[in-house]
C-alpha cells in the first residue's frame, strides 16, 4: 500500500481514480491519503449497492463495515457509474443529496464472446444452467440467496437436467453438500468453477439459463429485487441462451423480455416448466436472438461511457 501512495502522490496532471465495489474500503483509504495539490477526480463504479439489501441497520455484522464504506464513498466521490437502477434508492435510504455527475452503464456483453444461438430439439431432455453463488441448506437466508436444494429436486421430478457452475468463492463445505446431492440424482450435475473468458462457450451447450431468485424465499428488500442487476444475465446473453428469469427481479426480467431474450417465471411455474414454456415462442426467440442482443453489447454503447469520462475528467469544474 505504501508504494501505491508514493506513486499517487507523484501525479502531476488531471487524474481519475476509479473505485469498483465491493472494494470501497480500499478506495476510500487510498483517496483520503492522497496529499497532492493537482486535480484528482474520484469516480465510483457501483454494481451491487449494499444498503439496498436490508437497510441501514442490518441485524448481523458482516455487512456493517461495507455500509460505512459505501456511505463514505457516496459522500466523498466526484461522480458515479451505475450498473443497476439501485442508486436513487440508496441515496434516499442514506438521506444523501447527490449532485455529482453519474451515468447508467450496465455491464453489457462483449461481442467477441457472443456464441451462435442454437435451437435445440424441444422434445429432448431440457438442460438448464445456472452460474453463480450457491449456499448450504443450513445457511441463514441473510447470508445471501442461493439455496437450490428444492429446485434441484423439482427439476429432477420433471426430468430436467440442472447444471450448476458455482462461483469460485463458494466454500468447500457448500460444494461438498452439492456434490453429495449429485451422487444420488442423475438430473443434477455440479461443475467446477470456470473462468469468465471461457464461460460463454462452455454454457452455450444448454437449452436454457436461469436466474431463479424468488421473493418468497428471501429476506432481502423489495428494492433489491426490483432494481438490482447481475453479471450472470450478460454471461447468459453472450452464450446465446434463452433466459428463465424470476418475475420478482423487476429490472432484470424487464430487460430480458423487452429484448425477447427469455421468459419470465415465478415459483409456481418452475414446478411445471414444460407447461409454462411454449415451443413456438422458444423457436421465435432463438430465430431473432442474435439481432436482439446487439443493442446490449459493450461495442454498441461504449461511446456513451467514453463521453462521460471526457466530461468528467477534463471539463467539469471543481
Do 126 and 190 belong together in one domain? yes
Do 252 and 149 belong together in one domain? yes
Three-class SS state of 272: coil
Do 15 and 100 belong together in one domain? yes
Average pLDDT over residues 85-114: 94
More confidently predicted of 161 and 315: 161
pLDDT the model gives residue 160: 97
More confidently predicted of 8 and 1: 8
Which DSSP state fits 109?
B
Do 25 and 145 belong together in one domain? no
Question: Residue 272's domain is classified under what CATH number?
Answer: 3.40.50.2000
**From residue 12, how far is each of 9, 27, 106 by CA, in Å?**
8, 20, 32
Please state whether the predicted TM-score (pTM) of the whole model is above 0.85.
Answer: yes
- Report whether pLDDT(4) > 60: no
> At what angle are helices 24-33 and 64-76 packed, to 10 degrees?
40
Total domains present in the chain: 2
Do 7 and 26 belong together in one domain? yes
Burial of 2 (0-12, 13-18, 19+ CB in 10 A): exposed
Sheet holding 161-166, edge to edge: 188-190, 161-166, 127-132, 208-211, 243-246, 262-265
Do 88 and 191 belong together in one domain? no
Do 96 and 194 belong together in one domain? no
Do 83 and 144 belong together in one domain? no
pLDDT the model gives residue 317: 45
Do 240 and 140 belong together in one domain? yes
**From residue 39, how far is each of 70, 76, 100, 317 by CA, in Å?**
23, 15, 16, 10
CA distance 180 to 244: 26
pLDDT the model gives residue 10: 64
CB 223 within 8 A of CB 54: no
Do 102 and 115 belong together in one domain? no
- Report whether pLDDT(156) > 90: yes
pLDDT tens, 182-212? Answer: 999 999 999 999 999 999 999 999 999 999 9
Do 171 and 47 belong together in one domain? no
CA distance 134 to 148: 7
pLDDT tens, 209-262? Answer: 999 999 887 888 999 999 999 999 999 999 999 999 999 999 999 999 999 999
Full residue range of the structural domain in which residue 309 is found: 2-106+299-315
Do 132 and 229 belong together in one domain? yes
pLDDT the model gives residue 168: 94
**From residue 282, how far is each of 70, 126, 157 by CA, in Å?**
41, 12, 22
CA distance 293 to 243: 12
Amino acid at each position: 500500500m505504501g508504494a501505491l501512495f508514493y506513486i499517487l502522490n507523484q501525479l502531476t496532471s488531471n487524474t481519475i481514480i476509479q473505485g469498483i465495489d465491493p472494494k470501497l474500503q480500499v478506495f476510500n483509504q487510498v483517496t483520503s491519503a492522497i496529499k497532492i495539490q493537482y486535480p484528482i477526480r474520484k469516480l465510483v463504479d457501483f454494481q451491487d449497492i449494499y444498503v439496498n439489501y436490508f437497510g441501514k441497520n442490518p441485524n448481523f455484522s458482516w455487512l456493517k463495515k461495507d455500509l460505512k464504506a459505501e456511505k463514505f464513498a457516496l459522500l466523498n466521490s466526484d461522480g458515479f457509474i451505475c450498473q443497476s437502477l439501485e442508486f436513487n434508492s440508496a441515496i434516499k435510504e442514506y438521506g444523501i443529496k447527490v449532485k455529482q455527475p453519474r451515468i447508467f452503464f450496465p455491464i453489457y456483453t462483449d461481442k467477441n464472446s457472443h456464441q451462435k444461438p442454437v435451437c435445440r430439439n424441444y422434445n429432448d431432455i431440457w438442460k438448464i444452467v445456472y452460474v453463480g453463488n450457491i449456499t448450504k441448506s443450513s445457511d441463514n437466508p441473510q447470508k445471501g440467496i442461493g439455496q437450490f436444494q428444492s429446485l434441484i429436486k423439482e427439476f429432477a421430478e420433471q426430468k430436467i437436467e440442472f447444471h450448476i457452475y458455482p462461483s469460485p468463492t463458494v466454500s468447500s463445505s457448500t460444494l461438498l453438500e452439492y456434490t453429495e446431492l449429485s451422487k444420488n440424482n442423475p438430473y443434477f450435475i455440479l461443475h467446477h468453477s470456470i473462468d469468465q473468458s471461457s464461460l460463454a462457450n462452455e454454457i452455450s451447450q444448454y437449452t436454457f439459463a436461469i436466474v431463479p431468485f424468488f421473493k418468497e424465499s428471501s429476506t432481502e428488500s423489495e428494492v433489491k429485487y426490483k432494481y438490482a442487476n447481475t453479471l450472470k444475465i450478460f454471461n447468459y446473453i453472450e452464450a446465446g441462451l434463452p433466459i428463465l428469469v424470476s418475475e420478482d427481479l423487476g429490472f432484470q426480467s424487464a430487460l430480458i423480455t423487452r429484448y425477447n431474450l427469455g421468459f419470465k417465471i415465478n415459483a409456481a411455474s418452475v414446478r411445471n416448466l414444460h407447461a409454462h414454456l411454449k415451443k413456438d415462442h422458444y423457436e421465435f426467440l432463438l430465430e431473432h436472438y442474435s439481432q436482439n442482443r446487439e443493442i446490449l453489447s459493450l461495442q454498441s454503447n461504449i461511446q456513451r461511457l467514453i463521453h462521460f469520462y471526457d466530461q468528467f475528467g477534463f471539463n467539469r469544474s471543481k
